[in-house]
Amino acid sequence: MLKVLDTAELGTWVEAIIKAHDVIGIQARADKFDFGPLAKVQDLRLDYDVSLNAPKRFFLLPDEKLFTFKKDEAKSAQAAEPFVLFGVHPYDLIALRQLDKLFEMDNPDVHYLSRRAKAIVVAVDVQKPSAHVFAGCLGFEHVEDSYDILLTKIGNEYLADAATAAGEKLIALGKGFTKADDTHLAARKKIWDENKQALRRHELKPNKAQITAQLEKSYDHKIWKEKARLCFSCGSCNLVCPTCYCFDVADRLNWDLASGERVRTWDGCMLEDFATVAGPHNFRNQREARYRHRYYRKGKYVPDKIGEFSCVGCGRCIGACVTHIANPVEVYNAIMEA
């Protein structure tokens, strides 16, 4: 369902959504933007460049109780609550789509999937490119599925594309929506084309397939050692990444030392002990091995699993790395020159 809303009417519509739903919306935070509970419509900033934190944290929680246990008994943690996630950029939605695939595979992850199933996602096309975004190089500047509603700002109007029944219901909460026509679709296509050029603050030379193929023969490339020399193994690039999904699982005992809760927390392959197993043996105990692993995950291992390149070009890792070594564009360009 395609509708159009005058930008002046957006506030009234969002207000109605806030009244009817819990809304996590994009808003200003210090000199940046971030997702958080949206208390009032005035805080919503659809003109943002990039959110400080990727939306994955609302589905794969940084710290999460999975279940509580007693000696012979376990009880699953409480079910997910529904909410509306308002203002997700296309590259971040593509990241969520990838996590959906990964968490549906093998043993479906009920904790992640139940939150996803209950969430209504309102995506928005990028209006202002961030400092490090390169999604345009990857074709991830726009998205054509996986949203409940996609909003695109076209002049003084928002084109609202509702792709699901839940999305249509949200639109029904608004007044002043009018019918869209082919000129709106053509205008959106033009914005997508423009964003493909605008969302490339770093220029990735190879295409996705070329990177995946080149990684086959880049295991001993000098770049891994060169870059890893300045790696803190701090995991910042992992944790800000919208497609990194590794976690650790631990038991927290109660004072009876018999009952407790099982929790999972974010983990990252850059951290020194990430690959430590019984023994103890650490099969990636060198910084360069860990550093290399991340680029193989994004460029080869995960693509081999789900058939899609697993770096979406949001550029958060570039900004988050204190020593400026985490730019995937630099790395993938360099291996092509081997």
Partner 1 sequence: MDRPRVAIFDFACCEGCQLQLYNLEEGLLDVLGLIEPVEWREAISDQSDSYDIAVIEGSITRKEDEERLKDIRKRAKVMIALGACATIGGVNKLKNQFDFGEVRRTVYGKDAEAPHLDTARVKAVHEVVPVEVKIHGCPIDHFEFGTILKSVLAGKTPSIPNYPVCVECKKKGNICRYEYNEVCLGPITRAGCGAKCPTGGFWCFGCRGLLDNPNVDAAKEVMDIYGKTVDDLSGRLLLFNNQS
Residue 271 C-beta: closest distance to partner 1, Å: 5
With CB under 8 A as the rule, give the number of residues binding partner 1: 35
Binding range to partner 1, per CB under 8 A, among 1-9, 50-58, 162-170, 203-211: 50-58
Residue nearer to partner 1 on the CB measure, 7 or 323: 323
What does the per-residue mask of binding to partner 1 show for 12-31, with x meaning CB under 8 A? -----------------xx-
**Other CB atoms closer than 10 Å to residue 228's CB: what's the count?**
18
What does the per-residue mask of binding to partner 1 show for 129-148, with x meaning CB under 8 A? --------------------
Q: Which of 183, 257, 278, 337 binds partner 1 (CB under 8 A)?
A: 257
Residue nearer to partner 1 on the CB measure, 11 or 62: 62
> Does 43 help bind partner 1 (rule: CB under 8 A)?
no
Residue 56 C-beta: closest distance to partner 1, Å: 11
> Does 265 help bind partner 1 (rule: CB under 8 A)?
yes
Residue nearer to partner 1 on the CB measure, 151 or 318: 318
Residue nearer to partner 1 on the CB measure, 142 or 287: 287
Q: What angle do CA 288, 232, 215 make, to 5 degrees?
A: 30
> Does 278 help bind partner 1 (rule: CB under 8 A)?
no
Binding range to partner 1, per CB under 8 A, among 39-47, 125-133, 249-257, 290-298: 249-257
Residue 84 C-beta: closest distance to partner 1, Å: 19
Pick out residues in 221-240 that bind partner 1 (CB under 8 A): 229-236, 239-240
What does the per-residue mask of binding to partner 1 show for 144-173, with x meaning CB under 8 A? ------------------------------
Cis peptide before 242 (omega within 30 of 0): no
In sequence order, what are the residues at sequence separation of 6 or more whose Cβ sits closer than 8 angstroms to the Cβ of residue 164?
148
> What are residue 4's DSSP bridge partners?
159, 178
What does the per-residue mask of binding to partner 1 show for 307-326, with x meaning CB under 8 A? -------------x-xxx--
> Does 250 help bind partner 1 (rule: CB under 8 A)?
yes
Task: Indicate the length of the chain as a whole number.
Answer: 338
Residue in 36, 135, 49, 130 with CA at minimum distance from that of residue 86 = 36
In sequence order, what are the residues at sequence separation of 6 or more whose Cβ sits closer than 8 angstroms to the Cβ of residue 31?
none
Residue 111 C-beta: closest distance to partner 1, Å: 17
C-beta of residue 125 within 8 angstroms of C-beta of residue 191: yes
Q: Which of 9, 15, 34, 104 binds partner 1 (CB under 8 A)?
A: 34
User: Site residues (CB under 8 A) for partner 1?
Assistant: 29-30, 32, 34, 52-53, 57, 62-63, 229-236, 239-240, 250, 252-253, 255, 257, 265-266, 268, 271-273, 287, 320, 322-324
